[in-house]
Amino acid sequence: MNPRVRHRSDEDGKDMDRRVVRQRVDEEHGKNKVGSPSYLLIGDEDVAPQVQESVDWTSLAYDPMLHVFTLLDHRDRASLASTCKAWRSLGASPYLWKSLDLHAYRFDLSMAASLANRCADLQKVRFRGLDSPAALINLRAKNLKEISGESCENVTDATLSMIIARHEALESLQLGPGFGERITSEVIKVIAICCPKLKKLRLSGMRDVSSEAITSLAQHCPQLSDAGFIDCLNERKAGRVVSLRYLSVARTSNMDWRVAVESWGKLPNLTGLDVSRTSIDHAAVTRLLTSSRSLKLVCAFKCTMLEHDADLDPDRFEGKLMFNNNFNRMASLLENTSVEEETTRWLEWNLSRTFLFFAEWNLLGFNSLWNSHGGKLFLRLMQSSQEDVQERAASTRGFRPRSDDYDASVYRERAEAVMRDGGIRFSAARAIANLSLDVKGAKAVAEGGGVDVLLGLAKSRNKLVAQEAAAGGVKVLMELLFRWPLDCGQLLESAAGALANLAGEDKCSMEIAKEGGVHALVRLVRDCDYKGAQAQAARGLANLAAHGDSNNNNAAIGKVPGALKTIIQLTRSHHGGVKQEAAGALWNLAYDEKNRELIAALGGVEASVALANSCMNTSRELQESAAGALWNLSHSEENSIVIGREGGIPPLVALARSEYADVHVAAAGALWNLSFNHVNALRIVEEGGVLVLGRMCTSSPSKLARFLAALTLAYIFDGRLDESVRVSPKRLANVRRSGLRYVGSFTKTFMDPKIFATAASSFTPSKAAQVLKRVCIPEADVLRCSREEIGRFVTMLRNPSPVLKKIAAFALLQFTIPGAIHAKHHASLMRKAGYPRLMRFAAAAKSMPREAKIFAKIVLRNLGVSSARMLKRKERIISS
């Protein structure tokens, strides 16, 4: 069976988030040794009782489905809209395309072209990147009201002027940071003339903002209430824009403070002013607060001339506030519900930029901020309704200290400050990393739910957040696993569990291996005495091994000294969770041929048999894992013989009686592999397996389990068992009749007399399609057979039993359905062995049952389709 991702279970053994990943196997991967039984790749198969086979998606209510679409990003939304007409219409709803966040994607001309036909009603767009400004023009979104862009250093006056000229309805324009070095004041004039409805303008990095540009804004933008000229070399006479309520000139140099204060003091509506990181002095601030009647709030963080001044007394200036180095009042102000929402949003935006600057430069006073009101203040920013504020706050907390300044106690205090305010729920991957730089800080993070937050962020709809949480989170967890001592059991369990969850994704699993995750988890499994940590480490190894078709993590685990031996030993643990995850790890690791041989040499086969014998009254997951381990170990003939000899068949037969469908699949798959050997087939008969398999192939809720049970019975009674009979011929004949009756009942469930009668009288493509639709088992496309198994089914076509002829043709049909995962592999085996000729004979033979003839004809059509596709592929290769 193919490796499968394992998810953490609760104490009752029920999956918290059950998902099985279907993998494609490389063509060379299935070329097992002679006589090797097939192996299986489980997909999202019917491990639960069958439900209605078809759903009328158009019958789903419009509003709930529209809400589902709103939860998707633009790519997933467009993909879902391409599935059917109803959803295409739904996906084109203007409601879904009023806002577009491209911040996490490369927004270039090709993306703009693909989105243009949906953006007629687009009102808000957010982007990042060098190619974004030029691409924005091609969106053809003439109704845009809000544009927000970052990291567009190459933009020029010409490009920006073209953007502005095409979006006259613009109300908000925010460009920066990483913007403006190549633009001049001339573009501000264009903005003023082309955008008379402009309410918010924030530009970063311009060399100069001229008086003429400010005058143009004052003349043409009567609604402009929020302006920001940040990181500029000069700003002149913003006081002419009388509509301004909020102004930011943070980190703007070459200011004439006498002229600026006089100008700003005349603004009749000015409420908030940000002069952080400028050279403003105490006298200018005092004069401004005294002269302005409307001003309520001045932010002056990290102003060198005010370093030693305390916040000015609000009573002295009629309740006006000036914030410098003390953040006490700032935290209270953000929590004050009486403050105007627009003011709060403006303050959040400026604070997030200032704090990010603090963190980037590791400025003095930042630690005191954390330890006093940092937790509450940063959490408030993390909960902002403005996404850019949230991202900057998360980035601020994510900055690591410089190596020469590192002080574990400082970062432990930061962690405790955040925990004190309940803030880990709103943290981000890098923040969790840095708050966890020592054991005590890590403990605060883990106990506060930080690891769960990390996993939640990895599933975020925001691709940028998800990638950072996944890729950066891997490094976080690896660092924590190596840093924490082995006696921190609960913390290690939490980190190992998170790493195991991330390992379930292919790319993350490669990142984990790259960062040393294999060695870290093996060390945890081998040396840690805490059972919970051992179990999660074993699950992590199982998930790392679950991508055997796309990376070499599976083989790499087997090469780590002591890894396989330790996992085998854990199957004997007295702790149910440890045994379950260890068996799951063996299940996946045995997929690799070399690992399978090593596991057998280290006693893993015997250990797995012992585990299967001991798990009858345990959880569903442990039963399934035990049977699955035997399934993959039985891929080789040698292991199959050992399993039979060591008593592995009785527990598998017992597990086949389970009430759980997924246990049916694993047990039936193992018995199918074992029954390839006639001695094991006889053991199955002697243990009462025929009755158990018969009931399974007629009543299991899983189609795949029913199919595997029928194939096992077909192996047992195809004639090879007669050569080694140790029971009376009469008894064997009775058992054989019973077994074949079950197989016949299984195939009969797929037969529609009317459809088959029509197909028998006139076998046309449409009739063949009707039969195929009726008999197809979608879950069976993950079964991959060896050459010997294909040959055994072809041989069954000549068996005197009509039942075996039907099941053989039925199986070959399932294995060759075009588009199935391994159809090309099976078709290739059949062509190389010359089986198409035998299939034509079977399709025309008078002794062949009608249903088997039809199946044989469909198999021939399948082989023809496969050949045609292969020929086209070769032609394309040659032509290219």
For residue 158, the model assigns a pLDDT of 85
For residue 134, the model assigns a pLDDT of 75
Non-local (6+) Cβ contacts of 141 within 8 A are 119, 120, 122, 125, 167
pLDDT in tens, 58-97: 566 777 788 888 878 777 887 888 788 778 888 888 888 8
How, if at all, do strands 39-40 and 783-784 pair?
antiparallel
Whether residue 363 is predicted with pLDDT greater than 50 in this model: the reply is no
Q: Which amino acid is at 88?
A: R
Mean pLDDT to the nearest integer, 481-497: 74
In a domain, 335, yes or no: yes
Evaluate whether 300 touches 276 at the Cβ level (below 8 Å): yes
In a domain, 626, yes or no: no
pLDDT in tens, 658-707: 988 999 999 999 999 999 998 999 999 989 999 999 999 999 999 999 99
Q: Which amino acid is at 3?
A: P
- As a whole number of angstroms, the distance between CA 540 and CA 8 comes to 10
- Grouping H, G, I as helix, E, B as strand and the rest as coil, residue 683 is helix
In a domain, 728, yes or no: no
pLDDT in tens, 715-737: 999 887 765 556 667 778 888 99
Evaluate whether 86 touches 68 at the Cβ level (below 8 Å): no
In a domain, 337, yes or no: yes
For residue 27, the model assigns a pLDDT of 32
- As a whole number of angstroms, the distance between CA 555 and CA 540 comes to 15
In a domain, 772, yes or no: no
CB burial string 170-183: b at 16+ within 10 A, e below: bbbbbbbbbbbebb
Question: Which stretch, 273-287, 751-765, 829-843, has highest mean pLDDT?
Answer: 829-843
Whether residue 519 is predicted with pLDDT greater than 50 in this model: the reply is yes
For residue 21, the model assigns a pLDDT of 29
Evaluate whether 628 touches 584 at the Cβ level (below 8 Å): yes
- Grouping H, G, I as helix, E, B as strand and the rest as coil, residue 206 is coil
For residue 663, the model assigns a pLDDT of 93
In a domain, 652, yes or no: no
Average pLDDT, the chain: 77
For residue 813, the model assigns a pLDDT of 94
CB atoms within 10 A of CB 184: 16
In a domain, 421, yes or no: yes
**Predicted TM-score of the model (pTM):** 0.56
Whether residue 348 is predicted with pLDDT greater than 70 in this model: the reply is yes
Evaluate whether 126 touches 152 at the Cβ level (below 8 Å): no
Non-local (6+) Cβ contacts of 91 within 8 A are 69, 77, 78, 80, 81, 82
In a domain, 419, yes or no: yes
Distance of CA 397 to the CA centre of its chain: 24
Number of domains in the chain: 1
Find the range with the poorest average confidence among 48-57, 185-194, 518-527, 796-805. Answer: 48-57
pLDDT band at 199 (very low <50, low <70, confident <90, very high): very high
Evaluate whether 195 touches 168 at the Cβ level (below 8 Å): yes
Mean pLDDT to the nearest integer, 770-782: 88
651 cis-preceded (ω within 30 degrees of 0): no
Query: How long is the chain?
Result: 880
Could you tell me which residues are beta bridge partners of residue 247?
Answer: 227, 273
Whether residue 748 is predicted with pLDDT greater than 50 in this model: the reply is yes
pLDDT in tens, 582-622: 888 898 888 888 889 999 999 999 999 999 999 888 888 89
Find the range with the poorest average confidence among 76-90, 168-182, 360-374, 791-805. Answer: 360-374
Distances (CA, A) of 686 to 293, 433, 691, 708: 98, 58, 11, 19
Higher-pLDDT residue of 10, 311: 311
Mean pLDDT to the nearest integer, 800-806: 94
pLDDT in tens, 531-567: 888 888 888 888 888 876 667 878 888 888 888 998 9
CB atoms within 10 A of CB 459: 11
pLDDT in tens, 246-263: 999 888 887 888 888 888
Structure tokens at 519: 């060695």
Q: Which amino acid is at 710?
A: A
pLDDT band at 829 (very low <50, low <70, confident <90, very high): very high
pLDDT in tens, 92-130: 888 888 888 887 777 888 888 888 888 888 999 988 876
Residue 91: name the closest of 103, 107, 73, 111 by CA.
Answer: 73
Whether residue 794 is predicted with pLDDT greater than 90 in this model: the reply is yes
Which residue blocks in 293-407 are alpha helix, DSSP H? Answer: 328-335, 341-361, 366-369, 375-382, 387-398
For residue 229, the model assigns a pLDDT of 87
Domain containing residue 411: 327-460
